[in-house]
Structure 1
Amino acid sequence: MTERAATEQDVRAVAARSREAAAELAPLGRAAKDAALHAMADALVAATDAVLAANAKDVANGRDTGIGESLIDRLALDADRVAAMAQGLRDVAALPDPVGEVLRGYTQPNGLQIRQLRVPFGVVAIIYEARPNVTVDAAGLALKSGNAALLRGSGSAYESNSVLVDVLAAAAEKAGLPRDSVLLVPGTDRASVGHLLKARGLVDLIIPRGGAGLINYVVQNATVPVIETGVGNVHVYVDAAADLEVAERIVVNSKTSRVSVCNSAETLLVHAAIADEFLPRITGALQSAGVVLHGDDAFAALDGVLPATDEDWEREYLSLDMAARVVADVDEAIAHIRRWSSGHTEAIVTRDLDVAQRFVARVDSAAVMVNASTRFTDGGEFGFGAEIGISTQKMHARGPMGLAELTSTKWVVTGAGHTR
């Protein structure tokens, strides 16, 4: 793939177009936005062949340049995935419109009426790797929440994203919305990302989605406000009071359901009291599913288990690999998680309510699962429709981010000639 350069002027010019579109989107009612979302979904299905042709070029380029199979899995589209993206737009249209929701409202003793309302951010830029479905999800969520979407996908998905944005923008325009409601940031070189990060005053919010390298680069270099997302060093702790059949099912699903996503489990912790019985059982089950375990001494004593190092405890594998260790009790499990977790998702499997409550209270991550797979940390599973990402920071939005997380607030004060 030939890298496409973009100057600061190029990037700022597109951001300025997004800002103009955002001003037109902000006051729109639900009916106009929902009609546009349905039009975009229909247009996407109609353009399936063009989307898949462009995507085939990206996949071929990716294989030629040697990107890993986990990224190929995120990059590749087929007719079912295109149909699922279109359905995601329809699902977002069916959700309540967050804009205009009154979060607080009251009347002061002097008669002033005070309300706090949800309002769009304005221009929301999303920087993401590989996955072209994010292009559609982000555009749909941004539009429904009254924002303009400024999209910077990776160079590996450039052909796919170019076609997708053209299809979505044309459909939005046909439905009566600004064509610039959805725009692609020009350029595939790293410099274009740097220009976007400095577009303060034109861009209101940046959301990075991808690996640790991308997220750290954005957080460390942006002058535009950033919501940090996504790196998932996710843990499952199997307690002494666990139902071992349930535990096996949850661990295997958390690890193997889809390994290339951020809610896939990367580390297994097992209470020492059940280690003799559970370790051979879960090791066999995971190995039968193709998982390579990297374990402490207790796990490494079993056939086929590799010895673990600190690099394994801190690693987001995104592959059929998993770190594993035995812990003395729930407190040691919590200590391990607090030391190594990225703050994304942790799970406990137990029938002891007190232990579960202790785990939930002391584990400081965006999502905590009790007797459920880590794979449920997802906007769709939470009922949000398509998600914009999973926030691992603590300000404004945390965990799966849907429509409400793409809004800010404003105060509206109504008086009757009041003066102070």
Structure 2
Amino acid sequence: MDFEIRGERKPQGRRKLRAERAEYFRLVRQGYSNKEASRLIGVHERTGREWRNGRTNPNRFRAPARPEWAPAGVSGPSRYLREDERIHIADRLREKATVRAIAGELGRSPSTISREIRRNCHPDSGSYRPHAAQARADERRPRPKPGKIALNPELRAAVQAGLDEQWSPEQICHALRRTFPDRPEMHVAHETIYQALYVQGRGELRRELAGALRSGRARRKPQRQANCRQPRFTDPMVMISERPAEAEDRAVPGHWEGDPIIGKDGASAIGTLVERHTRYVMLLHLPNGRTAEHVRDALTETVRTLPAHLMRSLTWDQGSEMAAHKSFTVATGVPVYFCDPASPWQRGSNENTNGLLRQYFPKGTDLSVHGPEHLAAVAVQLNGRPRKTLGWETPAERLHKLVAA
């Protein structure tokens, strides 16, 4: 072999290994395995597989790049398989090629090729005929399609009988599988029953049967996505994405995170504040509940005990207790930033601290019995613990240095 492995092993990137790539495919065409060909040209065998099959994202499927030996005349992958791709599948199946090899050649997912062969092969002989497969695919594609319940009167009667007995759609679908174990045409998913009830104009089930559902709704309740929610407060929120970068990297002290911990039956609460740089903890006494006004007053009183340079911002979740955030900002000059919905990791220090506080204030207990003196004692004990993230300093020591400076 005239090819020489390059002496400079500095990474060149996938596109710069032109000589290695060309030599790799020459060896593969001669019958060498991927492992052997990769060894001979001095690259990792994973690189050889990516050259041969196309490169994919390991976390989420993405159509791989067109490999070296993709059939001529085939353009990039579309949503549906084309007739020329089906012809290529049939030719390669006659050559006993594997599904993964065919998928790599066409730049498709192996599951797409496997599903195509399984759904469109001849029902009797089991052979794959590309033109017949294309005709079957075209026949299945038009929308809308009649539902399974509408096409089977016996199934429709069985579903209606179950709804008359106040059964849920999920109970009906499992009962049908037990009653007709050998008749797949009588099996139906519970989502199909919901579709037959809720979708207007189908006529698959009597509309009055929707009243038999436990929800009592005659139509589906739309679920809003997090980015489509209505504003929670009257005063506009400033989201965490607009918080200064100095708060994100914890380099500058004075940026705090806050949240209440809730007592038994939601009737009592204790407010918590954690400084991001030092992990210093302060507890808010809320004897009269956690309404927006009570939380605002407790926060205002606590913030005024701190030096101005140690109270630069406050980050909170979108709980109703912060509805008065604008008046708090006006009174103290401290901006409030709100986390995204269902994103507790954006207040990681506060969530961690609340877990530590449950050692002193267990869940399911009445938190109103703890007075301000006891809350201060708990905060002192937490602030006196050495913390690994602070180089085994305590939050109190770290804050004392900042105040002294």
The TM-score with structure 1 as length reference comes to 0.24
Whose Rg is larger? 2
The TM-score with structure 2 as length reference comes to 0.25
- Greater relative contact order, per chain length (Cα 8 Å cut-off, separation 6+): 1
